[in-house]
Amino acid sequence: QYTTSDGLSSNFILALEEDREGNLWVGTHEAGLNRYKDGRFTVYTTRDGLPGNTILAIHQTREGALWIGTQAGLSRYKDGSFKSYRVKDGLPDAKVQVIHEDREGNLWLGTVGGLSYLRGEKFTSYRETDGLSSNNVRSIYEDADGVIWVGTYDGGLNRLKDGKFTSYTMAQGLFNNGVFQILEDNRANLWMSCNLGIYRVSKKDLNDFAEGKIQDIFSI
């Protein structure tokens, strides 16, 4: 076990990521970002350039940059320094809860104000007015066909394909409107978590519903 007595900045942990060098990055509540390397913790906070000290998501991209989602914006850590992005730079909301890198190396970001797509230095955002079922995005998954699946806190699941959203909620047969994590098994089922447990749905049913072949879906 590692606690503040070992140099960790807080015992309230919200995010973890192992980088390609084997270092462990630890995100905390209100106490910044920790790097565990060679048996020692190094702490990074707003004093070092982070936009906020509550770390909600950490992801290292294929090209090596470390991206950090905080309650006050997004930050990229590369070559020993932070570069931060906020609402004024194009984020739909400052609270970045999830970071996903797609097959082309672009980032998808889940915030409490919508879904955002970062290509280069340009943000494109999607909100309820664009067809997203809820602006509170909690999970993002990309399947083998390049379809983006978006889970929300209270608005169910969304499929983004060819620029169009399809939404699935309890009204269509989803077990719960919370989708906090999305995983796919080897039988093409999507498994999702919520605050009442975990459940699964056939991806074929989800796609058939989106294409108008069926009127309801079934989840267990």
Q: Which residues pair with 152 in a beta bridge?
A: 137
What is the model's pLDDT at position 117? 98
pLDDT tens digits, 142-194: 999 999 999 999 999 999 999 999 999 999 999 999 999 999 999 999 999 99
User: DSSP letter at 3?
Assistant: -
Q: Where are the beta strands (DSSP E) in the chain?
A: 13-18, 24-28, 33-37, 40-44, 55-60, 66-70, 73-78, 81-85, 96-101, 107-111, 114-119, 122-126, 137-142, 148-152, 157-161, 164-168, 181-184, 189-194, 197-202
pLDDT at res. 153: 98
* pLDDT for res 42: 98
- Give me the pLDDT at residue 40, please: 97
The pLDDT tens digits for 45-62 are 999 999 999 999 999 999
Residue type (1 letter), 28: T
Q: Which helix (H) or strand (E) holds 206?
A: helix 203-210
